[in-house]
Every structure is written in structure tokens, then in C-alpha cells.
């Protein structure tokens, strides 16, 4: 999926995560801050990168501000931000691109 514009998804509430996606010239650039940085930063990074890879995103600047979200919440917020940023129209490919 192509990132055509900047988009945000999620909030800064406890148990949530805010994901900002912007177009980039090449590669994935990920900036992460988390309330549980020390314990989970590697895992959060992994979930974000896996989700982007499943969606076929190859170029993006991604900023993630985590407030202790579950993996499923991180995945949901990344997906929503990507679909918004790609200006997707039409049915969402549940069980396809959206695993």
C-alpha cells in the first residue's frame, strides 16, 4: 500500500496507542515512545513492523506513542492509520491484507 498523505489513528488514553504515518522517500522510519519502553519496546516495534509488512507498506515515516496497548490494539491502530493514509476507498479486505 502507498502512503499518499499524513494520517493519525488512536489516542493517548491509557491502554491505547497513537500511530502517525507520513509519506517517506524510501524505507520504513519508526520512532517509538512508550510508557512501558524498557520492558516492551522490542515487542511493540515488532508488532508495528509486522503489521506494516502484512499491509505491503514499503515507504513510510511512522511515529508511535504507546500508552500500554495490547498487541491487538497496536495492530488495529497501525492498520487504520495506513488505510487512512493510503486514501483507501471501498470494502476493507478483512482476513486478507488485514490479517
Q: Cell 493510503 sits at which residue?
A: 86
83 binds other proteins (CB under 8 A): yes
Q: How many chain residues interact with other proteins (CB under 8 A)?
A: 23
Shortest CA distance to 55 belongs to which of 90, 19, 5, 94?
94
Shortest spacing between CB 27 and other proteins, in angstroms: 25
37 binds other proteins (CB under 8 A): no
Nearest-angstrom CA–CA distance, 63 and 5: 14
Sign of CA dihedral 17, 69, 36, 86: negative
Shortest spacing between CB 96 and other proteins, in angstroms: 9
Residues that bind other proteins (CB under 8 A): 9-10, 13-16, 69-73, 75-77, 79-80, 83-84, 91-92, 94-95, 98
Amino acid at each position: 500500500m502507498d502512503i499518499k498523505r499524513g494520517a493519525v489513528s488512536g489516542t493517548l488514553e491509557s491502554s491505547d496507542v497513537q500511530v502517525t504515518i507520513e509519506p517517506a522517500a524510501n524505507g520504513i522510519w519508526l520512532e517509538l515512545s512508550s510508557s512501558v519502553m524498557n520492558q516492551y519496546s522490542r515487542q511493540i516495534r515488532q508488532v508495528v513492523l509486522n503489521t506494516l509488512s502484512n499491509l505491503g507498506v514499503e515507504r513510510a515515516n511512522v511515529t508511535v506513542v504507546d500508552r500500554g496497548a495490547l498487541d491487538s490494539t497496536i495492530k488495529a491502530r497501525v492498520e487504520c492509520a495506513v488505510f487512512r493514509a493510503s486514501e483507501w476507498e471501498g470494502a476493507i479486505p478483512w482476513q486478507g491484507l488485514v490479517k
